[in-house]
Structure 1
Amino acid sequence: MYQEILNKEAKLAVIGLGYVGLPIALAFAKKVKVIGFDINSKRVELMRNNIDPSGELESSEFEGADIEFTDSLDVLREACFFIVAVPTPIDEHAQPDLKPLLSASTTVGKVLKKGDYVVFESTVYPGCTEEDCVPVLERESGLKFGEDFKVGYSPERINPGDKEHTLAKIVKVVSGSDPEAAEEIAQVYELVIDAGVHRASTIKVAEAAKVIENTQRDLNIALMNELSIIFDKMNINTYEVLEAAGTKWNFLRFSPGLVGGHCIGVDPYYLTYKAKALGYDAKVILSGRSTNDNMGAHIANKLVKMMIMRGKNVSQTKVLVMGATFKENVEDIRNSKVVDVIRELRSFNVNVEVVDPYASSEELQHEYGFGLVEEAGKDYDAVVVAVPHKPYLELDENYFKSIMNGSPILVDLKGIFRNKISEIEYKSL
């Protein structure tokens, strides 16, 4: 398979062209023939015109790419090596939502042929590829797993907004359903991964490795968030504590904040779901999730108390929230925990306005029921700098004073204005 792809005698397909799939597809398309498949015809048309619908890649990234963008099964049928990179979200009950993954498996199954390979990149719980996806491939194709086709798992490590840790620069974990499959899949990925490929012993090991990467980060951030709550009660600045502790060589550098997005705030639930199915309650992981999921409400309640202590009538206050995406310098609003801050403030009848230089007001309205104001107004009782977007780093105290009224409060979640504010009541996590 590897040699056929390398010689452009066989085509590679990427199913799902979002934040993960499109960079992978374009990277391979600089070396081999690629089919980029997505069920959203509007997104496909944009990509045909060298436009990344997610706003992550420049049009120059499309140049020189041997790729055909399509939503047609007939075109997809021409591929022999399929990479599935679709979202794996959670539902309203924090349970894994496998509908996009199983739908993609159905699509691939319809075009699967003898000798083909299918590699999954979507984050899942250990066992999902072989126990959930493979049966769908077999059912739709009428082929026998292991005999007629092979599968693998290679977890994505794309970090939206990160221009340093790009696809080629990050070690890629790969695995296959048997040793031959693992080696073939590894060789294919080595075409585009400069940092090298790590061959996991089994698919389950690779699945588990991915899901604990973000679980580990989630727990460390949860610890920082809990510390920030404790230190606030002691009137100690958390960032000053972290700077002091960070002078020790083996202190892990994490900071408090809102934990949203499609990875850190989601992936741990896949692991705890599987653990529950096996009869084990993952107490530590779920405790960390609870801490992080409640930070938005904690921040809003703290601000409300601060305004009350300043003699303000909360129902007559006006608050500006700066930033609505799940992290800085991206357009991605999926699972943004800034939404929790906004909703909690509005539960106190606070008049909340939101600005963001990257987010789409239309998407926010559709997803969360609120949009953006075109620009910041005046006479705010408080400003919450929720996301440290690059344009916000250039602001100073005079700017905030110009848009706030008497007795103003500045809540700076990531501490980017620490030691730069002296005339406004200032609060960071």
Structure 2
Amino acid sequence: MQVSIEARQQAQALLDFIDHSPSPWHAVDTVANQLKAHGFTPLHESESWQFQASGKYFVIRDGGSIIAFTLGQQAIADSGFRIVGAHTDSPGLRLKPQAAYSTEGAAQLGVEVYGGPILATFTDRDLSLAGRVVIRTAEGLDTRLVRLDQPLARLPNLAIHMNREVNEKGLALNKQTGLPLIFGHAANTAAAKQLLTETLAGKLAIPAEAIAGWDLALYDTQRGSFWGIDQEFIANSQLDNLASCHAALEALISNETPQSTTICALFDHEEVGSESATGAGGSFLLDVINRICLCSGLTQEDQLRSFANSFFISADMAHAFHPNHAGSYEPCHHVHINQGPVIKTNANQRYSTNAVTAARFIQLCEQAQVPHQQYAHRTDLGCGSTIGPIMAAQLGIATVDVGNPMWAMHSIRESAGVLDHRYMIATLQQHYAS
């Protein structure tokens, strides 16, 4: 399979983006830095907003969600908004507030399962910690990002000699007793706690007693890579859904003077239902749109007209056909890696796509000269969902659910296609230009 230099460069940029973003808070920080580099001005929800014509802006809510937008050349009421939504979080393991303890001299970390990860894939990996730490300062509380670069913790498998049926029945891990990780030696729990806090404090160059709390995730320290005979595949953690975040960001910043007002909305907490202040089920996007309309002098009727003229693309990854498990797929809806973006449909509205919005996305693909595929889940299996139905219900905007095909969704090491990332960027560019 031939892979162009451009496609390989865009895939490498994606791998670098993920490697710099081991937690939702790091992902938002990475996005914000790229936006600033391309002339976007930061806004704060607690301050008054004022815009310049064709201005480019972004706003962050609670560190884990970010919305960026470029004001269009045309009147908002007439042209509406062109929106892409994705999510910054991925399934995995999160540290408990009182995480460290000792078991017969082994320093361990207690974790909670976040979302629906494939737990067995977290065993025997070089894991470390990343996220945010709240610290006490002379001025009050402050929040800082932290990332421990070296392999810090591990979840060793039980030897096959004590789990003789693991290859026949699979690895089953009790979420309470089977997931605590080993990160060192400690004579007792007090020593284990001290070991953890001093490690974090050392990284932040602060006294250990300054730490007031944390939101910390386990992440795989192995960097992203290309693989395959022609290096046509990529592997990394968090492809679901940082690949969609990166594609949306690249499309937004490449279109400097759009006709319609363009929005890139990246939310936290999709993997746990989106019902939070920073999730798609919260008010963040509607709050931002309301303020755009207010600052632009729109009446309520104009704003409602703008919604009727808008189009929302919910971008989240899709299930590629796995040749070893053909029976797990709907026979007439196999989608394949490196064959283009996938339009996802579900009659029960687990996806927001309908015939009209699907046709509209197909038209964008055709204009971008990009192939497309269509996916429906096997009827007798439970279908996952996305932010698409949530946003469609909240805003009343025409919405489609799409995503690039991938293998091993929710594994700590997922795989996708080099060509597909270029295809998605090109299609979202076309969307923002429409």
| TM-score past 0.5 threshold | no
Larger RCO (CA under 8 A, 6+ residues apart): 2
Structure with greater strand percent: 2
Structure with greater helix percent: 1
Give TM-score, length-normalised by structure 2.
0.25
Structure exhibiting the larger radius of gyration computed from Cα positions:
1
Give TM-score, length-normalised by structure 1.
0.25
